[in-house]
């Protein structure tokens, strides 16, 4: 069956360092991926997306890498700030008439000042 | 602010009761998605509506139902509530029919349901 993501791990970094959050997916039919950030008490917030015809996409301070060979996705956050502290989810969609986003369990990022 | 509005923010009710959660999508968005977030299951897709019609169903229990009204707001009805239904319920909206066709889905702040 479909499954995305890992058991909820925790990543702790120092302010100013780069962060890398990883995600594994198992549905090889998935061709669209999104990273969401969820702060305590708030809904998931879109960060960046990537389609399967790309292997890298950059946003503001964030980069998503997609390795379809090993079904792995990563989110890199440059110069991590305390405001980046949150749970980060990867989500997948297999396109076409599939309207469902399948979410991983998330990674808790803690940024130490 | 995502532009998606959910009410109420918090809801406490007893087992066996019925509640209605409300969602107003972003202006111009035609699709509404409902998700349940619990500690042990993570974010689970429940159901999607597009322009008033049901488009996709996920892990939604038979005790749960939803609808989307002509003004595009949506309601999620949860009945015969059980302790295990305690969770955060999120609504998301997007412009088009699907996640990819319609672009990114934006989430509301959620309704925290506590069943006691």
Q: How many angstroms separate the CA atoms of A56 and A11, rounded?
A: 22
Evaluate whether B26 touches B4 at the Cβ level (below 8 Å): yes
Select the residue of B43, B55, B99 nearest A32 (Cβ to Cβ).
B99
Pair of tokens at residue B84: 């295990």
| B30-87 pLDDT, tens digit each | 999 999 998 777 888 899 999 999 988 888 999 999 999 999 999 999 999 999 999 9
Place of tokens 């349901």: B113
Per-residue confidence (pLDDT) for residue B105, from 0 to 100: 81
Residue B29 to chain A, least CA–CA distance (Å): 15
Q: How many angstroms separate the CA atoms of B7 and A60, rounded?
A: 32
| B73-116 pLDDT, tens digit each | 999 999 999 999 999 999 999 887 665 554 578 899 999 999 99
Edge-to-edge strands of the sheet including A19-24?
A19-24, A72-77, A62-67, A56-58
Instruction: Find out whether the peptide bond into B111 is cis, omega within 30 degrees of 0.
Output: no
Using alpha carbons, select from A98, A96, A51, A99 the residue that is nearest to residue A73: A51
Select the residue of A41, A101, A104 nearest B99 (Cβ to Cβ).
A101
> Do B107 and A45 make contact, defined as CB atoms within 8 angstroms?
yes
- Please give the angle made by the CA atoms of A15, A20 and A26, to the nearest 5 degrees: 155
């Amino acid at each position: 069956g479909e499954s995305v993501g890992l058991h909820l791990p925790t990543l702790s970094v120092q302010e100013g360092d780069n962060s890398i959050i990883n995600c594994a997916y198992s549905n090889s039919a998935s061709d669209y991926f999104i990273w969401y950030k969820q702060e305590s008490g708030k809904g998931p917030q879109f960060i960046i997306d990537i389609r399967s015809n790309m292997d890298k996409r950059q946003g503001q301070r964030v980069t998503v890498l997609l390795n379809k060979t090993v079904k792995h996705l990563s989110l890199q956050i440059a110069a991590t700030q305390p405001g980046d502290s949150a749970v980060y989810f990867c989500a997948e969609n297999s396109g076409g008439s599939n309207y469902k986003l399948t979410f991983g369990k998330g990674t808790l990022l803690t940024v130490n000042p | 602010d995502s532009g998606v509005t959910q009410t109420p923010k918090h809801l406490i009710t007893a087992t066996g009761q019925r509640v209605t959660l409300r969602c107003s999508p972003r202006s111009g968005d035609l699709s509404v998605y409902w998700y349940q977030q619990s500690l042990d299951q993570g974010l689970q897709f429940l159901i999607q509506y597009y322009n008033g019609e049901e488009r996709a169903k996920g892990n939604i229990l038979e005790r749960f139902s939803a609808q989307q009204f002509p003004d595009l707001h949506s309601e999620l009805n949860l009945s015969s509530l059980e302790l295990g239904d305690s969770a955060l319920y999120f609504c998301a909206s997007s412009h088009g029919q699907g996640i990819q066709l319609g672009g990114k889905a934006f989430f509301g702040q959620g309704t925290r349901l506590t069943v006691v």
